[in-house]
Amino acid sequence: MNGREAAVGPGAMRRRWKTGAIFAGALVAAAGLFTAAAGLWAAPDPPAGGSAAAPAPTHAPPSPSAARPASGPSAPAPLTVYFLEVGHGDATVITTPGGRCVVIDAAGGRVGGEAVLSLLRRKGIKRIDTLVMSHADSDHIGGMPDILRSGIEVGEFLDPGYPHTTQLYARVLKAVKDRPGTRYRTAKAGDLLDWGKELTVRVVNPFPNPKNSNDSSIVIQLHYGRVAFLFTGDAGSRVERKMVARSGGGLRSQVLKVAHHGSKSSSSAPFLRCVRPEIAVVSTNSASADGPYKETIDRLRAVGAKVYQTGRYGMITVESDGKGYRLAKEREPEKREAPVPAPVAAAHP
């Protein structure tokens, strides 16, 4: 990510907002004053519309009206995406400007289910409008039985439809079937999802006849105004090639949920050159700045992405007003002091 960043308040929230062109000298001066007080705010490119070679983002100080989310009775609610810390697994909660709630995956075992439910309780959310199972691997659906049996209302359940024979998957499907108010549906590339009139949401994968469970992952791109998010499940490089061939620069997204916990088998260089993420969130138990796989982190940094691992920074929250976004980390990584070298004994004659 280009530009300066400023840690603000508890939890070291990093604010980084983006806006359009500067309209007048007075607004430039006002924006400069705001920047001095709250850190640099920068303007994103709108997502490219089909060209993999779209120009790189440009950055400029904002006008005061666009530097932060609007406030007041007429201000729309923000889009907020929570990437939960659940160890080696995925769990993402999305709250939309229209008041809807979407959950994508629920990690492994009770850890994922409780992490999701705990966040929903803290936010006062009593309904999940869409529960997305990116694919049926245990580190993505382990907590779903607990969510489905918790009593919270679930509007629809989204499944890639890839045959899976595990008992865990069978329990998830039974829990869905036991809820007559929950609609079950499968997703395929090209589908449009209704998550509210403020958003454009499309399914980018799965394509027909995936080779394995990871390649069947539901990949979703969400647009809110000028800001786009890409949620990739565990999609591998074979599927990435298909997405690039079909969508090209249309994959451009400022925020990327890195596929397969940062695995070397995903996040291929051609795919990342199309997405060109500015923020890359890796859901992993790794606390290393280069973890879990340095090759993947290097490819992400090569396209200009700032990388955040949940095992290193805790829950990552990204909030957008449709014009820009800001990111908050749950914690800063611990700084380890360099070891003090042992004294060298003097040589005896």
| Average pLDDT of span 204-221 | 95
Question: 260 pLDDT exceeds 70?
Answer: yes
Q: Among 49-53, 183-187, 263-267, which range has the highest average pLDDT?
A: 183-187
Closest CA to 204 of 301, 284, 275, 307: 275
Report if pTM > 0.85: no
* pLDDT range class, residue 344, cuts 50, 70, 90: low
How far apart CA 206 and CA 215 sit, in angstroms, is 7
Structural domains of the chain sorted by starting position, each given as residue range(s) with its CATH number in brackets: 39-62+77-329 (3.60.15.10)
pLDDT for 272 equals 96
User: Which of 2-6, 230-234, 294-298 has the weakest average pLDDT?
Assistant: 2-6
Question: 314 pLDDT exceeds 80?
Answer: yes
| Average pLDDT of span 299-306 | 96
Question: 349 pLDDT exceeds 70?
Answer: no
6 and 39 in contact (C-beta within 8 Å)? yes
Q: What phi and psi, each to the nearest 5 degrees, are found at residue 189?
A: -55, 135
149-161 per-position pLDDT tens digit: 999 999 999 999 9
What DSSP letter does each residue of 92-158 carry, written as one string? EEEE-TTS-EEEEEE-SHHHHHHHHHHHHHHHT--EEEEEE-S---HHHHTTHHHHHTSS-EEEEEE
Question: 345 pLDDT exceeds 70?
Answer: no
pLDDT for 77 equals 84
How far apart CA 80 and CA 40 sit, in angstroms, is 21
Closest CA to 78 of 5, 15, 7: 15
Closest CA to 14 of 34, 32, 40: 40
Q: Residue 92 corresponds to which tokens in the numbers above?
A: 């993402």
36-92 per-position pLDDT tens digit: 333 333 345 544 443 333 333 333 323 222 333 444 455 678 999 999 999 889 999
Closest CA to 146 of 100, 112, 104: 112
157 and 133 in contact (C-beta within 8 Å)? yes
Choose between 46 and 196: higher pLDDT. Answer: 196
324 and 66 in contact (C-beta within 8 Å)? yes
Q: Among 13-17, 93-97, 342-346, which range has the highest average pLDDT?
A: 93-97
Q: What phi and psi, each to the nearest 5 degrees, are found at residue 225?
A: 60, -120
pLDDT for 257 equals 95
Summary mean pLDDT of the chain: 80
What DSSP letter does each residue of 28-72 carry, written as one string? HHHHHHHHHHH----PPPPPPSS-TTPPPP---PPPGGGSS---S
User: Which of 8-12, 105-109, 218-222 has the weakest average pLDDT?
Assistant: 8-12
Question: 242 pLDDT exceeds 90?
Answer: yes
